[in-house]
Structure 1
Amino acid sequence: MSSSFWVIAAVLGVGLAYKLPAFLRGGRNPLARQVAGLLLAACAVFFFAAPTTIARVNDITGVPNVAGPVVYTLLTGFCASCLLLIVKWRGGTPASVRRATWLVHGSYGTVIVLLWVFFALGEHQVERTRDLDTYYATTPWMREMILLYLLGHTVAVLVTSALLWSWESRVRGRRWLHLGVVLLSVGYALNLVFDGVKLVAVVARWGGHDLDWLSTTAAPPVAGVAGLVIALGFILPHAGEHASHQLADRREYRDLRPLADALCGVRSAASPVPMGRFTRRGVRLTQRRTAIRDALRQLEPHLDPTVLESAVRGHLADGKTTEEARVLAEAEAVVAAAALVAVGRTTGRAAPGAALTSTPLTLSRILRRHPDLDAARRNRTPEGRVAS
């Protein structure tokens, strides 16, 4: 039984470890702090809710069942963390965010204080590591403590669920954020199931019935799945966006290679900074973009507008669209100019050169699809004319 709680705590710990670098880099970023705090609270809830941990805490303190309010306090803190994070995510005026933050702090801080007051007033000499909720459901003050933590959790789940569902329609166009909101909504719906099952078992005790299995057998797996889904809901938006950016950078770096290779003979004004084997892809991409931009700037004076327009007309005659014809002609001109500049056949600044309208990425993709553009250009233009 305890191992399942610890496994869930470990999985949540992995999520916390993933978010920790962003938290450390974030400095005073309250959103990063709150995500880290929420995951830490979730880890603590499942770790301390394990029956073995409960027994150990009781033994160390010498107070029977003191692990109960410890777990309830952690769960209440988790509820408050979720609400605070949703408040920050939704945003609003500084005054409204500040009011909501103080309301969460005040209300859930009061709940935590009352939990310990009720525990101190109650009788709890018989240690229960798995069924404290139902065993003490009819005991004065312990009953109030149990009901208070369940109601506090239920209210937090209902409020958070309402905020999430009202927000869901506003983030549908943002793939990863929308997925995160949907996962959070599912996780909080499962938390409602957990609260409902627990409350049914407790209320059954008030009526003299025994439905303890709902609390001891049915509720823990629901809570475990809910915790994991909620953790994914908070982690995936950031992880997904990061992965998407990395994939886009990788794709652009690869797609720019044909143009970079074609321009490698054009000397840049500044020598490129040597890149190590483990240099980040984003840094490599920035260097490639810069090198291409500098090379194209040096080539522009050598692009003959007349020859370029002639090439455009030739491609139009071949059945290309206006946009395709322009890109093909500019790609031909760039390749030819780069080849001539590399061997020193153009000198000085021929003015004014043709201005390129295609982006470097568009030119490079054309070069990938049409590696024989320079040969086609030579066949189309008269000998000695520089279409570059």
Structure 2
Amino acid sequence: MEGLDFYIPASVLVIAFTCKLPGLSRDWRDPLVRAVSVLLLVASSVFFFAAPPTIAAVNHLTGVPNFSAPLVYCILTAFSASCLLLLINWRGGSEDRTRRLSHWCVGTYSTVIVAQIVLFMVGDAPVERLRDFDTYYARTPYIREMVLVYLLAHTAAAVVMTVLCRRWSLHVRGSLRSGLILMVCGFMLNLVFDAAKFAAVGARLAGHDWDVLSTDVAPPVASFSALLIGIGFVLPLLVQRMSASWNTWVTYHRLGPLWRELRGAVPQGCRAVRISWWSPADLRVTQRVADIHDGLLHLDPYFDHRLRDLTREALIAAGSGSGQAEAIAEATMVAAAIRARAADPEEKVIGSADAYTSATAEGPRDLVRISLALRSPLVAQSRRPAASTESSQP
């Protein structure tokens, strides 16, 4: 099918934009979210409206020969502006400076779009050209200027983006640097596209025919550059999201040993309502943490703080770090309390008037470290009956 090389990337970008819609509706006030969404939408529009079948259909529907030319040029100009806007918001900085640069960018490229429309309206382009409009009308007054205005605006954006992305890539690492390098390559290919277009138009002005540069060389260069730029923008955001999701799941699984230890400490009727397995990872972590805190609260009357303090001091004296010693000491106290709770089926300790001292009174606990510390040999000792006797409450 003619134009398939345009419609495939357009479809991919539309799918990407559709995937961003939930985030856009949720965080539409976030300038970065809006900039990414606009970029995806405008980029897909570039490929769709630049396809020869679409150009012919738009010209036919409007009844204006070459109506698609200023339409495609305006969308390309908007794409250049959206790239600059995304980079401005991506880099951050003071809110006033970001707003000022964004307004400058929108104002400048809006002026360019208006100029293109006006130049097309005052010019004369009666013969429909689906692929070689740039070169065919290179010597036509006003139409020539319209082509040059769009190429200059596109080139200026490509130069600015190349310089800024390269400069920024020297100061960052990881996926952000990889994304910026891909963007540098993509915008350098944009400059190749512009050079091919300028050369073909300039050759026409000089009476030569280099149309092949505009019709055969420039389009695939533009497609590949758009692919690199799109990947460059999306890669850091995707890696950041995947990394956050991965860290959440790691936290969820690391909390597993402590959660399983404490499940029996909470009476069946007091346990939280179970959530579905397809629930988001952060929600599952939140519930697991809540379950752990419930278990600690029910075990509070059985906690032997003296055992914890002695264990911590012994570990520090043996050369352990304070964080590790604290975690193992907490885990030892929890394991001993579970054993003591099992030895008190009539709940005599819980029934005492001053039993509860609040499991959170001493400040937050590092639950992940405590959960991992349950594997310590000292914790295993606290599960023995002897340890239970030694750690019983007075």
Q: Could you say which residue in structure 1 is the equivalent of 2:251?
A: 252
CA distance in 1, matches of 2:357, 2:36: 58
Residue 98 to residue 263, structure 1, CA distance change in 2 (3 Å): closer
Structure 2 residue aligned with 1:365: 372
Paired amino acid for 2:190: N
**SS of residue matched to 1:125:** coil
Alignment-derived partner of residue 63 in structure 1: 64
2-structure distance, mates of 1:35, 1:232: 12
Distance 1:378 1:343, change over 3 A: closer
- Structure 1 CA distance for aligned equivalents of residues 113 and 383 of structure 2: 81
The residue that corresponds to 1:385 in the other structure is 390
Residues 77, 154 of structure 2: 8 Å contact kept: yes
Task: Tell me the distance in 1 between the aligned counterparts of 2:221 and 2:366.
Answer: 53
Corresponding residue number in structure 2 for 1:279: 279
Stretch moving more, 206-215 or 87-96: 87-96
Paired AA for residue 41 in structure 1? V
Distance 2:192 2:6 in 1: 18
The answer as to 2:114 corresponding to 1:113 is yes
2:149 counterpart of 1:148: yes
Q: What is aligned with 1:24? A: 25
1:80-229 alignment to 2 at 5 Å?
A: 80-170=81-171, 172-173=172-173, 175-229=174-228
1:276-310 Cα distance to aligned partner (Å, 9 max, x none): 23322211110111221232344355333443455
* CA–CA distance in structure 2, aligned partners of residues 219 and 229 of structure 1: 15
C-alpha separation between the residues in 2 aligned to 1:137 and 1:130? 13
Distance 1:52 1:352 in 2: 72
Is residue 2:242 matched to residue 1:235? no
Structure 1, unaligned runs of 5 or more = none
What TM-score does the superposition give when structure 2 sets the normalisation length? 0.85
**Matched residue of 1:296: which SS?**
helix
TM-fit CA distance, 1:151: 0.5
Partners in 2 of 1:184 and 1:98 — Cα distance? 23
Determine what percentage of the aligned residue pairs are the same residue.
Answer: 40
- The answer to which of 65-74 and 103-112 deviates more is 103-112
Instruction: Flag the 1:102–1:281 CA change in 2: closer, same or farther, 3 A.
Output: closer
Task: Report if aligned partners of 1:300, 1:356 keep a CA contact under 8 Å in 2.
Answer: no
- Classify the secondary structure of the residue corresponding to 1:45: helix
User: Is 1:333 the counterpart of 2:333 in the alignment?
Assistant: yes
Can you list the C-alpha shifts for 1:184-211, whole angstroms capped at 9, x where unaligned? 3332222122111211222122223322
Alpha-carbon distance, 1:156 to partner: 1.5
Counterpart Cα distance in 2 of 1:158 and 1:25:
34
2-structure distance, mates of 1:274, 1:379: 31
Q: Provide the rounded CA distance (Å) in 1 between the counterparts of 2:387 and 2:123.
A: 100
The within-5 A match list for 1:29-40 is 29-40=30-41
Aligned in 2, Cα 1:266/1:208: closer, same or farther, shift over 3 Å? same
In the alignment, the residues of structure 2 paired with residue 375 and residue 98 of structure 1 have an alpha-carbon distance, to the nearest angstrom, of 59
What is the DSSP-based 3-state SS (H/G/I as helix, E as strand, rest coil) of the residue aligned with 2:389?
A: coil
In the superposition, relative to structure 1, how do residues 211 and 181 fare at CA in structure 2: closer, same or farther (>3 Å)?
Answer: same
CA offsets 1:307-361 (integer angstroms, 9 cap, x no match): 34554577689x7735555544432331121232245267143889996996211
Contact map agreement 2:65 2:125 (CA 8 A) in 1: yes
**Structure 2: distance between partners of 1:29 and 1:374:** 48
Asked if the contact 2:192–2:221 (Cα under 8 Å) also holds between the matched residues in 1, the reply is: yes
Q: Equivalents in 2 of 1:251, 1:386: separation in Å?
A: 33
RMSD over aligned Cα atoms: 3.1
Distance 1:293 1:307 in 2: 20
Kept in 2: contact 1:204–1:210 (CA 8 A): yes
Contact 2:305 2:333 in 1 (8 A): no
Amino acid at match of 1:216: T
Ranked by relative contact order (alpha carbons within 8 Å, sequence separation 6 or more), the top structure is 1
Could you tell me which amino acid in structure 2 is paired with residue 360 of structure 1? L
Are the structure 2 counterparts of residues 328 and 356 from structure 1 closer, same or farther at C-alpha, using a change threshold of 3 Å? farther
Tell which deviates more after alignment, 334-343 or 93-102.
93-102
Kindly indicate whether the alpha-carbon contact (under 8 Å) linking 1:80 and 1:104 is maintained by their aligned counterparts in 2. Answer: yes
Q: Do the aligned partners of 1:249 and 1:282 also contact (CA within 8 Å) in 2?
A: yes
Shift of residue 228, structure 1, vs aligned partner: 2.0
2:31 maps to a residue whose letter is P
In 1, Cα distance between the equivalents of 2:321 and 2:116?
Answer: 74
8 Å Cα contact 1:6/1:50 also seen in 2: yes
TM-fit CA distance, 1:70: 0.9
Measure how far apart 1:82 and its partner are.
Answer: 1.8
Distance of 2:229 and 2:387 partners within structure 1: 68
SS of corresponding position for 1:384: helix
1:102 maps to a residue whose letter is H
Q: Residue 223 of structure 1: SS of its match in structure 2?
A: helix
**More divergent stretch after superposition (305-314 vs 258-267):** 305-314
Q: Distance in 2 between matches of 1:117 and 1:226?
A: 29
* Number of aligned residue pairs: 383
